[in-house]
């Protein structure tokens, strides 16, 4: 049995067992003065987890993932915070889960992910660009390394694809030039991992958390890539390691949300305090989840969908965090 087959059979066993696991908050010191707040908004029409999420034209776009039947979906839905309504958009060319999405120069790209459900997951090299005016997807130059569970970040007019699972975890780091439609290799991330989160912050790429596998090592590692020096440095580790988390940068702050570890699911919301060079706890998520993404619109962070139990437990919950 392959690594993917063993791993995903274990995940299905957890999901089918109905194992809820423990809900875990952050061990970081709590910010009691300005913890922020969560608000529930209109739920996503299609419950799903292991989604790709991005902000485009003032809307939150949720792409692919695992649906309620534990099968991958090609579904694309967009949420308008101004009207608190969802719209269905043209689906992906193929169903994908554990893909990554980012917007650069007003253009939305989706990279990597897995096809297949049950215990047969195949990592992908595919890259798609969404044409909002035409309501269509176009195929772009593929990743050099096929992988799912990766992170995709827009930085300096380019896209950086880091980490993921190729059949085993990787530190692969590739940079996409949307003008030339070309990927090039960059210095690999020091800690090979998948199910990580990443953001662009202060001109650098921050890679946060992640894991080796569902039952394996859960990383608290934060590694920072500086494109000017073309090198990685060690950043301030998260208060607790986990995979399947989401992250967002809002102004001069970095936030992380949710995630999972074996038999645990996280409600934690944490913020990196630049002045104190430390992570502090914020108001925890109302619905603990993993397999999520985050998008910033109007200074608020939207966290739609995800899994509410370790393994499979897709939800359409749509919550917004106001710092």
| Cα(152)–Cα(22) distance, integer angstroms | 30
Three-state SS letters, the chain = CCHHHHHHHHHHHHHHHCCCCEEECCCCCECCCCCCEEEECCCCCCCEECCEEEEECCEEEEECCECCCCCECCCEEEEECCCCEEEEECCCCCCCECCEEEEECCEEEEECCEECCCCCCEECCCEEEEECCCCEEEEECCCCCCCECCEEEEECCEEEEECCECCCECCCEEEEECCCCEEEECCCCCCCCECCEEEEECCEEEEECCECCCCCCECCCEEEEECCCCEEEECCCCCCCCECCEEEEECCEEEEECCEECCEEECCEEEEECCCCEEEECCCCCCCCECCCCEEECCEEEEECCECCCCCCEECCEEEEEC
Whether the pLDDT of residue 9 is over 80: the answer is no
Average pLDDT over residues 118-138: 92
Q: Rounded to two decimals, what is the model's pTM?
A: 0.94
Percentage of the chain modeled with pLDDT above 70: 93
| Cα(237)–Cα(207) distance, integer angstroms | 10
Q: What is the CATH number of the domain that holds 220?
A: 2.120.10.80
Average pLDDT over residues 251-278: 95
Lookup: tokens for 45: 């029409």
Whether the pLDDT of residue 16 is over 70: the answer is no
CB atoms within 10 A of CB 41: 18
Predicted confidence (pLDDT) per residue in 164-185, tens digit: 999 999 999 999 999 999 999 9
Whether the pLDDT of residue 229 is over 70: the answer is yes
Strand order in the sheet with 136-140: 100-104, 107-111, 127-131, 136-140
CB atoms within 10 A of CB 121: 23
Average pLDDT over residues 53-79: 96
Q: How far is CA 103 from CA 58, 100, 249, 284, in A?
A: 12, 11, 14, 27
142-151 residues labelled b (16+ CB within 10 A) or e (exposed): ebebbbbbbb
Contact 44, 305 (CB under 8 A): yes
Contact 254, 281 (CB under 8 A): no
- For 125, counting Cβ atoms within 10 Å of its Cβ (0-12 exposed, 13-18 middle, 19+ buried), the class is middle
pLDDT band for position 117 (50/70/90)?
Answer: confident
Predicted confidence (pLDDT) per residue in 209-227, tens digit: 999 999 999 999 999 999 9
Lookup: tokens for 69: 């039947």
Q: Which domain holds residue 51?
A: 3-322
Beta strand pairing call for 158-162 and 151-155: antiparallel
Number of domains in the chain: 1
CB atoms within 10 A of CB 47: 19
Angle at 172 between CA 186 and CA 305, to 5 degrees: 120
What's the confidence (pLDDT) of residue 2?
38
């Amino acid at each position: 049995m392959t690594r993917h087959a063993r791993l995903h059979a274990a995940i299905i066993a957890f999901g089918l067992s109905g194992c809820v696991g423990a809900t875990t908050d952050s061990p970081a010191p709590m910010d009691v003065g300005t913890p922020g707040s969560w608000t529930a908004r209109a739920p996503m029409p299609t419950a799903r987890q292991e989604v790709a999420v991005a902000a485009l034209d003032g809307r939150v776009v949720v792409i692919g993932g695992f649906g309620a039947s534990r099968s991958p979906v090609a579904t694309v839905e967009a949420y308008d915070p101004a009207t608190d309504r969802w719209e269905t958009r043209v689906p992906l060319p193929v169903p994908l889960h554990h893909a990554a999405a980012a917007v650069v120069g007003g253009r939305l790209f989706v990279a990597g992910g897995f096809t297949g459900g049950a215990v047969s997951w195949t990592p992908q090299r595919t890259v798609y660009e969404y044409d909002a005016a035409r309501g269509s997807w176009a195929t772009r130059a593929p990743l050099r390394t096929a992988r799912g569970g990766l992170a995709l970040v827009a930085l300096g007019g380019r896209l950086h694809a880091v980490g993921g699972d190729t059949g085993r975890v990787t530190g692969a780091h590739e940079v996409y030039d949307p003008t030339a439609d070309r990927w090039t290799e960059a210095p690999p991330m020091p800690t090979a991992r998948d199910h990580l989160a990443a953001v662009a912050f202060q001109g650098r790429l921050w890679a946060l958390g992640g894991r080796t596998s569902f039952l394996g090592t859960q990383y608290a590692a934060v590694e920072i890539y500086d494109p000017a020096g073309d090198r990685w440095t060690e950043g301030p580790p998260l208060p607790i390691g986990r995979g399947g988390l989401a992250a967002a940068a809002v102004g001069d702050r970095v936030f992380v949300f949710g995630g999972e570890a074996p038999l645990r699911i996280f409600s934690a919301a944490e913020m990196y305090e630049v002045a104190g060079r430390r992570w502090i706890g914020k108001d925890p998520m109302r619905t603990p989840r993993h397999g999520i993404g985050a998008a910033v619109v109007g200074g608020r962070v939207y966290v739609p969908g995800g899994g509410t139990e370790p393994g499979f437990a897709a939800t359409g919950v749509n919550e917004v965090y106001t710092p």
